[in-house]
Amino acid sequence: MYNAGKIIPGLVIFLGLVTFPFWSNLGRAAFEAPELVFPETEEECVESGDWMRANHMILLDDWRDLAVRDNLRLYSSETGKRFDMSLTKTCLSSQCHANKDTFCDRCHDALAIAPHCWDCHVVPSIGEE
């Protein structure tokens, strides 16, 4: 091999950098889903819990576009229950996820996600967030 003295150390450095996320996390605690505080009184979410965990952002996105652009604001779920398509009036209402800190933020913070929702939407129970 020509220039082995440069290529092999170069490859070693390259592989080291590429695998940085793996070896830098060695020995650290594995990711644990944060403990969430669920509503006390309300049993049923808009859709099933598993579906909401995976798709709540899509649902909220759809609600946003339907309400603002198509003026459709009433949502009937799979179970036939009706909901006002509103983040503050439905999801964050006092019967449901009134406390954003112990519900929304716990997961978002753990996953380093910063949604823009609260730049404008206000959390009713806290007032100005």
List residues near other proteins by CB under 8 A: 47, 64, 66, 68-69, 71-78, 85, 88-89, 119-124, 127-128
Nearer to other proteins, 34 or 52 (CB): 52
* DSSP string for residues in the chain: -TTHHHHHHHHHHHHHHHTHHHHHTTTSPPP-PPP----SS----SS-HHHHHHHHHHHHHHHHHHHHHH---EEE-TTS-EEE--IIIIITSTTSS--TTTTHHHHHHHTT---SHHHHS-BTTTB--
C-beta of 90: minimal distance to other proteins in Å?
A: 11
C-beta of 64: minimal distance to other proteins in Å?
A: 6
Nearer to other proteins, 9 or 115 (CB): 115
C-beta of 78: minimal distance to other proteins in Å?
A: 6
